[in-house]
Amino acid sequence: MRSKLVAGNWKMHLSATEGVALANAVVSALGESADLDVVVCPPYLAIPAVKESVRNTPVKVGAQDVFWMEQGAFTGKVSAKMLSNLCIDYCIVGHSETRGRFGKLEVPASTVSHFAETDETVNLKIKALLYHAITPILCVGETQEERDAGKTVSVIQTQLEGALAGIDPAEMYGIVIAYEPVWAIGTGLTCASDEADRVCGLIRTRIAEAGSQDVADNIRILYGGSVKPDNARDLFSRPEIDGGLVGGASLEANGFSAIVAAAK
């Protein structure tokens, strides 16, 4: 039986002080009897303060990205070893924004290449995180153009194959996958629950082929993309959807708490 997981990706929002206030509010709303995993993913600078504020509570902390080398002349990068030193539990990898694939292009096209993560770098990041016992939250998903061209399944299959290349099936138990259709991120266009469930089921089938049926039965697959308090319960009630990766709605304590409550 897979337990549900709800993760808030704060993206490039909130100072350390604001993050601590939000994390405290989430902890209060959650209460003591958490029968699911709740994760907040602040920007790097807020991680130490937020981590401290949720100590001895059920709320876990994740990072939004990582670099795969241990240390060295890599200006601006943060390694899995550094996250491990902070006892970080989760880390998002392969988000469509770090891949440079935006649902609605709010950044000038000239900056997209600054993101440009590839399936190969996603793979290196996952290996670095697993080495340090940090759970990767691997994001996969198609753009609107790819969906319209009927390429949803092949795009996701390519992303999964690249991200999981060379990873021992036994290690796949330590990974969470998030299906995040790019066109649903930050757009208010939620993927219909039946369709999200169908794609999550296809991802599970691919995991069975890449790992084993037991890995597929146990790995958690989240849905992300305009998850809100009013659609969360329907999404999370689907058999293949084990929770959510929430962006905008995770920035407000009441809304995020309502989404968490919907997963209970």
Site of interaction with ligand 13P (CB under 6 A): 9, 95, 180, 185-186, 224-227, 245-249
Q: Which is nearer to ligand 13P, 211 or 248 (CB)?
A: 248
What's the closest the beta carbon of residue 245 comes to ligand 13P, in angstroms? 5
d(CA 178, CA 9): 12
Per-position b or e across 6-35, b if 16+ CB within 10 A of its CB: bbbbbbebbebeebbebbbebbeebeeeee
What's the closest the beta carbon of residue 18 comes to ligand 13P, in angstroms? 17
What's the closest the beta carbon of residue 38 comes to ligand 13P, in angstroms? 15
Decide if 132 is catalytic: no
| Cα dihedral 148→152→155→157 (10° resolution) | -170
Q: Which of 117, 142, 146, 180 does the annotation list as catalytic?
A: 180
Q: Which is nearer to ligand 13P, 94 or 211 (CB)?
A: 94
Residue nearest to ligand 13P (CB): 247
Q: Which is nearer to ligand 13P, 167 or 259 (CB)?
A: 259
d(CA 154, CA 221): 18
- Are 244 and 236 in contact, with CB atoms under 8 Å apart? yes
Decide if 180 is catalytic: yes
Q: Which of 95, 117, 142, 146 does the annotation list as catalytic?
A: 95
Alpha-carbon distances, residue 207 vs 43, 68, 152, 203, 220 (angstroms): 30, 23, 16, 6, 11
What's the closest the beta carbon of residue 115 comes to ligand 13P, in angstroms? 13
Q: Which is nearer to ligand 13P, 160 or 182 (CB)?
A: 182
The residues annotated as belonging to the active site are 95, 180
